[in-house]
């Protein structure tokens, strides 16, 4: 049985597995963090995963985005990750949306996904703060993750139960992305923080 090892855990058991099966998670970002998080959500049997990312695969991604291959350079990350997860676990639903979240469409996409939880696996503060605003406004838990160099950050934001990401990141936070900063990311860091 696919989930027998986690069904044996008293913290999960049959009730917890049923809850996972009926859960809906939206992962924004299909890079190093997003691929790792999505893979393990699929492995756990989360019933519906929506992946949102406008980016395409580049050679510089392959040191940490191990679900992609060199033959797939230039292809949509959201589309390829969707295919990979469907193949990996055909018991779940996966939808890929290869578009950029904006202030105009973010609430629409999160509503369309009908998610219970949002995973922020993005690489820029503008999108992080946008997700934070939309998730907090909708009352959706947000799991924020970021990796830089060999370091990472993880924070769970439960609206109304503590600070949000906007409380920690200034609205004019710069640099806005690792690409602009020219920063590196170690290949081993993203799966550790993505899981």
The 10s digit of each residue's pLDDT in 11-24 is 999 999 999 999 99
DSSP conformation class of 60: G
Structure confidence by residue, pLDDT tens digits, 100-122: 999 999 998 888 778 999 999 99
Number of structural domains the chain divides into: 1
Determine the pLDDT at residue 177: 46
Q: Is the confidence at residue 36, as pLDDT, over 90? A: yes
pLDDT band at 187 (very low <50, low <70, confident <90, very high): low
Residue appearing with tokens 């058991």: 13
The two tokens of residue 71 are 């033959």
Determine the pLDDT at residue 175: 45
Please check whether residue 77 is in contact with residue 53, taking contact to mean a CB–CB distance below 8 angstroms.
Answer: yes
**Separation between Cα atoms, residue 96 and residue 101, nearest integer Å:** 13
Q: Is the confidence at residue 98, as pLDDT, over 90? A: yes
**Separation between Cα atoms, residue 61 and residue 74, nearest integer Å:** 11
C-alpha triplet 102, 107, 110: angle, nearest 5° = 110
Long-range contacts of 100-106 (CB under 8 A, 24+ apart): 100/54, 101/28, 101/52, 101/127, 101/130, 101/131, 102/130, 103/130, 106/130, 106/131, 106/134
**What is the CATH number for 76?**
3.40.50.720
**Separation between Cα atoms, residue 141 and residue 119, nearest integer Å:** 9
Q: Is 171 exposed, middle or buried (0-12, 13-18, 19+ CB in 10 A)?
A: exposed
- Predicted TM-score of the model (pTM): 0.89
The DSSP annotation for 82-135 comes to: HHHHHHH-TTSEEEEE-S---TTTHHHHHHHHT-SEEEE--SBHHHHHHHHHHH
Q: Which domain holds residue 151?
A: 4-194
Structure confidence by residue, pLDDT tens digits, 158-171: 998 988 888 887 65
């Amino acid at each position: 049985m696919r989930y027998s090892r986690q069904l044996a855990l008293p913290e999960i058991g049959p009730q917890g597995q049923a809850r996972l099966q009926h859960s809906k998670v939206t992962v924004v970002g299909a890079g190093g963090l997003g691929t790792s998080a999505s893979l393990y959500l699929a492995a756990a049997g989360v019933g519906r995963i929506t992946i949102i990312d406008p980016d395409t695969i580049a050679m510089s991604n392959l040191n940490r985005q191990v679900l992609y291959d060199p033959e797939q350079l230039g292809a949509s990350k959201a589309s390829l990750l969707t295919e990979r997860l469907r193949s990996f676990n055909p018991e779940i639903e996966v939808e890929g949306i290869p578009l950029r979240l904006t202030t105009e469409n973010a609430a629409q996409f999160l509503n369309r996904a009908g998610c219970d939880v949002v995973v922020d696996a993005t690489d820029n503060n503008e999108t992080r703060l946008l997700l934070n605003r939309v998730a907090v406004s909708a009352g959706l838990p947000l799991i924020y993750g970021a990796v830089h160099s060999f370091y990472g950050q993880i924070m769970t934001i439960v609206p109304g139960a503590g600070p949000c990401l906007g409380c920690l990141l200034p609205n004019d936070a710069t640099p806005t992305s690792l690409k602009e900063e020219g920063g590196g990311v170690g290949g081993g860091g993203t799966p550790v923080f993505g899981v």
